[in-house]
Structure 1
């Protein structure tokens, strides 16, 4: 129950962060990169429906299709995030209508239009969820075709972005194209940052004090391997363990103070599969 409540909080907050970035910075500047919300900007130009309402309708249609094609399992996390995002965008249009951008700095607004949705998407992907939209199309394509899903979605996003050049102006189109180019890099970067841990290789003569500290003080575990020094020929031990960033500082300081002769290698890693870490 605690884990489910924690995921629910993550789902809600990350989706709301996405909604703020999309509504206040993307919609108001007519940036057209990025799936359904990018298409919504183009459709809103016709004046027949607002960007928020189009996103709501499109996401609901895709959710219904996804439910019947992909099954109930698909609907759990994706449906909640998609509905919340759609309702939040439509609600913001009514609560806080905007006739122009927040500032007269389009580059600054582009940064927030990319960064806030990227943070939200990274958190959702990290807990195995998504905000719906073109992700649903990708899941359906993956199930029934052998297409390269990433390339297919990139072509779709590229088409929508290029359309911005003709519907709006060259400057808006160029900003949208820049946003498309940077968005995927930012999402990957945020995911790696969320999952970043420290991988330890500790070469020492007496592993027991270090392992006791890891078990008793850090409440983690480690693996010990017997080894031999190539230069000295002495018997050695190698301790393998993984810590989060805060724990890594404590362990590093302990080893430097209590085992100054130990040879210590610390590297960054963002793919940890096992008990006690989030990438399971």
Structure 2
């Protein structure tokens, strides 16, 4: 049964990667190309070659990824490379099939940048969640991370900046600026798909912690944890409440703190990713 479940899950992941690749290919042809925008990494180079030489974006993307796959096959986990190769092939084929598709008449570069970034981010986010990627700088960044310990995000950013500078030189500063807007919208969307909407991690220091935790449990419906702490100035030992809530629940929590102990010390931090009951499943 376990083996059968793994097989079903594997094929479901491939179907999800194909869906994500299709969404991303659609976003490129429907919004990015229609608006005449560039991009980052291998995709950005393929777009520049399309604008200047008329070469098909999908075919160029696939060809440019071949040497990167050779590099990745030796240095990166084989499952990641396989899923990435599969995603790139599906993406490249659909990219050329979707050529000329214009679901919306865009007469505004900003709209093209935002639509392209958000829709493309949804597609890539699905692929990343399933353990794959769309190749290009992702493979290079992965290799450099394994060999030298470089952060993937920083490495990808540096490589994308190089391609963005080429876009600035070839397409002009205005297009380069809106391309940067599109890349920002893309990255933020990927973050949301990958990690979910950021939650709030709250620390409450109060002499009435026992009274305060009850309405947190009953009114908000969230769990809480007591930590034992000792004040450096007062030298008194007291319980510290730690709880994680959604952004929409923060106002209710502040109300509870204000009503129970207006002198309480409240620390609110952004939890970029929360895995567990009531939030994102570990699966």
TM-score by length of 2: 0.68
2:93 corresponds to 1:92: no
Is the Cα contact below 8 Å between 2:220 and 2:249 reproduced in 1? no
2:201 corresponds to 1:199: yes
Aligned counterpart in structure 2 of residue 139 of structure 1, from 139, 142, 146: 142
Residue 159 of structure 1, CA deviation: 4.2
Classify 1:254/1:129 alpha carbon distance in 2 versus 1 (closer, same or farther; 3 Å): farther
Is the Cα contact below 8 Å between 1:67 and 1:75 reproduced in 2? yes
How far apart, CA to CA, are the structure 1 residues paired with 2:238 and 2:117? Answer: 50
Aligned length: 269
Classify 1:100/1:188 alpha carbon distance in 2 versus 1 (closer, same or farther; 3 Å): closer
2:61 corresponds to 1:58: no
Is the Cα contact below 8 Å between 1:195 and 1:278 reproduced in 2? no
How far apart, CA to CA, are the structure 1 residues paired with 2:107 and 2:274? Answer: 46
Aligned counterpart in structure 2 of residue 157 of structure 1, from 157, 160, 163: 160
Is the Cα contact below 8 Å between 1:10 and 1:123 reproduced in 2? yes
In structure 2, the residue matched to 1:269 is 270
Residue 39 of structure 1, CA deviation: 1.0
Is the Cα contact below 8 Å between 1:44 and 1:51 reproduced in 2? yes
How far apart, CA to CA, are the structure 2 residues paired with 1:201 and 1:23? Answer: 47
How far apart, CA to CA, are the structure 1 residues paired with 2:32 and 2:150? Answer: 30
In structure 2, the residue matched to 1:115 is 118
Aligned counterpart in structure 1 of residue 43 of structure 2, from 27, 33, 37: 37
Residue 62 of structure 1, CA deviation: 3.4
Residue 58 of structure 1, CA deviation: 3.2
Classify 1:166/1:99 alpha carbon distance in 2 versus 1 (closer, same or farther; 3 Å): farther
Classify 1:217/1:31 alpha carbon distance in 2 versus 1 (closer, same or farther; 3 Å): closer
